[in-house]
């Protein structure tokens, strides 16, 4: 049974506990392993700073930090199937920070059960600009992270935010994160929030149907075959375990 993840623990603390102690879903366990692998490969100031910033989000709102970790993990996977040729470790690190601006969003709004008011929704939307500002404040100058932050709420048809960019006006990285973010928010994060909000998460089938139905409106249809490969990988990796 999946239980709520621990609050306000550093990733180093999380990593030293056994999976049984944490009772984390397999998705998060594997994403933590991926993070440790990438962080362990390099002691570059860039990687250290990215993980430090993610840890600030972890302390601010644990669920949003787990969401970012899973988005990182899924975006890296989708990119591997897409074969963009970008550095997939960079994609993962960008995923950790795609919502970093939410450290400036009040927890009362992030944790609010039910529908947000219009003013609360407008406040949430500022997390994109807040994230870009944070990168500048921290001296973090990185194309992949900037595009993940700036592009993950833009829609293929120009109906997204903050710039209402259409089609390839949003970079590949932004369009990739649009899909990974949607997938995680509907299918897995809902798994945590369901206990708090007392509603059921979307199933894998419902989540993928939503994304497929909105290819060409919200999502870049160029990801169709990468998403199909991702779906197979996801079912083989996670769904078979759930059934066992």
The partner residues of 219 in beta bridges, in order of sequence, read 215
By beta-carbon proximity to Fe ion, the closer residue of 23 and 149 is 149
- The answer to whether the beta carbons of residues 180 and 95 sit under 8 Å apart is yes
C-alpha–C-alpha distance, residues 34 and 116, integer Å:
34
- Closest CB 232 distance from Fe ion, rounded Å: 24
By beta-carbon proximity to Fe ion, the closer residue of 72 and 204 is 72
H or E stretch covering 106: none
By beta-carbon proximity to Fe ion, the closer residue of 108 and 240 is 108
Binding site for Fe ion (CB under 5 A): 99, 181
- Closest CB 45 distance from Fe ion, rounded Å: 25
C-alpha–C-alpha distance, residues 144 and 87, integer Å:
10
- Closest CB 7 distance from Fe ion, rounded Å: 19
Residue 84 CB contacts under 8 Å (≥ 6 apart), including other chains: 172, 176
By beta-carbon proximity to Fe ion, the closer residue of 99 and 231 is 99
Q: Angle at which helices 88-97 and 45-60 pack, to 10 degrees?
A: 30
- Closest CB 95 distance from Fe ion, rounded Å: 9
């Amino acid at each position: 049974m999946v239980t709520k993840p621990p609050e306000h623990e550093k990733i180093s603390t999380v990593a030293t506990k056994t999976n049984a102690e944490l009772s984390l879903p397999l998705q998060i366990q594997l994403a933590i392993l991926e993070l440790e692998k990438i962080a362990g490969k390099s002691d570059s100031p860039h990687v250290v700073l990215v993980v430090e910033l993610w840890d600030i989000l972890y302390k601010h709102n644990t669920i949003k930090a787990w969401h970012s970790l899973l988005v990182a993990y899924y975006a890296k996977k989708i990119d591997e199937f897409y074969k963009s040729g970008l550095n997939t470790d960079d994609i993962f690190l960008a995923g950790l920070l795609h919502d970093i601006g939410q450290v400036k969003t009040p927890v009362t709004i992030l944790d609010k059960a039910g529908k947000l008011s219009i003013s609360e929704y407008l406040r949430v939307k500022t997390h994109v600009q807040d994230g870009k500002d944070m990168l500048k404040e921290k001296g973090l100058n990185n194309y992949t992270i900037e595009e993940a932050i700036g592009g993950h709420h833009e829609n293929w048809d120009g109906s997204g935010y903050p710039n209402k960019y259409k089609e390839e006006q949003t970079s590949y990285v932004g369009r990739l994160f649009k899909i990974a973010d949607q997938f995680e928010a509907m299918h897995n994060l809902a798994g945590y929030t369901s206990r708090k909000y007392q509603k059921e998460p979307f199933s894998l089938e419902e989540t993928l149907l939503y994304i497929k139905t909105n290819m060409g409106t919200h999502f870049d249809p160029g990801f169709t075959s990468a998403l199909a490969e991702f779906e197979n990988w996801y079912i083989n990796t996670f769904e078979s375990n759930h059934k066992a």
